[in-house]
């Protein structure tokens, strides 16, 4: 899991990257939660997603948004962070020019950034959106959403109300040509405490069905 330094719009971006041993592997970009609330690329959910995609044979990158860790710049209310994510994806594609497709996975703020990025990048084939902040951020840009994906939320999330995510998913499901796999985990809070392994099982189950990378046997 080598450390990498990328060139971003506001200066260098600190990341961790695993290059797949498989030739012409797909790519996965993992996006962390809100820097204003302590979010970093080392967040437990972000790290677990990184490991999951690596296990599936993806070349996988997670990185710190501007102003986090050793990344330069300052928080930019999402606009600059979207540019950071685009630069990170460009970096991966430059060193993997034959990658067949891309998946994006994000937690909370990272899910919001990821959904914006997939609207701009046709090479993105699928997404995993963990606890999308539908109560506070505008997702109206998903009109229409260009690709299918997984939305995961905790039944006992006391940060992002389930009702807001329910409404967000219902709007996505009205669109033709895509499938939204929406799963609510029982007895699970916003940070998936004690349930991160279960969350990752759901990610693998979805991706096995979506034929994203290598199949992974789901732990009992």
> What's the confidence (pLDDT) of residue 143?
83
> What's the confidence (pLDDT) of residue 220?
64
How far from chain centre, in Å, is Cα 51?
13
Query: 3-210: which CATH topology?
Result: Rossmann fold (3.40.50)
> What's the confidence (pLDDT) of residue 35?
97
Instruction: Say if pTM beats, i.e. exceeds, 0.85.
Output: yes
Q: E strands, 90-203, where?
A: 102-107, 124-130, 149-154, 180-185
Q: Which two tokens stand for residue 87?
A: 């630069």
> What's the confidence (pLDDT) of residue 216?
93
* C-alpha distances out from residue 23 to 4, 62, 103, 111, Å: 21, 21, 17, 28
CA 68 – CA 61 distance, rounded (Å): 16
Q: How many Cβ atoms are within 10 Å of 210's Cβ, its own excluded?
A: 16
CA 114 – CA 117 distance, rounded (Å): 5
User: What phi and psi values does residue 160 have, to the nearest 5 degrees?
Assistant: -115, 110
Per-residue pLDDT tens listing for the chain (220 residues)? 689 999 999 999 999 999 999 999 999 999 999 999 999 999 999 999 999 999 999 999 999 999 999 999 999 999 999 999 999 999 999 999 999 999 999 999 999 999 999 999 999 999 999 999 999 999 999 988 999 999 999 999 999 999 999 999 999 998 889 999 999 999 999 999 999 999 999 999 999 999 899 999 887 6
């Amino acid at each position: 899991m080598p450390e990498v330094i990328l060139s971003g719009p506001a200066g260098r971006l600190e990341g961790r990257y695993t290059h797949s041993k498989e030739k012409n592997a797909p790519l996965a970009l993992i996006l962390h939660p809100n820097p204003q609330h302590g979010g970093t690329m080392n967040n437990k959910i972000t790290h677990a997603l990184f490991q999951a995609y690596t296990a599936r044979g993806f070349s996988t990158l997670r990185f710190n948004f501007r102003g986090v860790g050793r990344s330069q710049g300052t928080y930019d209310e999402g606009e600059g962070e979207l540019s950071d994510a685009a630069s990170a994806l460009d970096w991966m594609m430059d060193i993997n020019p034959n990658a067949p497709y891309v998946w994006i996975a994000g937690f909370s703020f990272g899910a919001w950034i990821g959904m914006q990025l997939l609207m701009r990048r046709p090479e993105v084939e699928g997404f995993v959106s963990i606890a999308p902040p539908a109560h506070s951020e505008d997702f109206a840009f998903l009109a229409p959403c260009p690709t299918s994906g997984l939305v995961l939320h905790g039944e006992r999330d006391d940060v992002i109300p389930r009702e807001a995510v329910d409404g967000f998913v219902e709007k996505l499901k009205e669109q033709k040509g895509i499938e939204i796999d929406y799963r609510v985990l029982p007895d699970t809070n916003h940070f998936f405490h004690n349930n991160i392994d279960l969350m990752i099982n759901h990610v693998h189950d979805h991706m096995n069905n979506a034929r994203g990378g290598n199949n992974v046997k789901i732990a009992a």
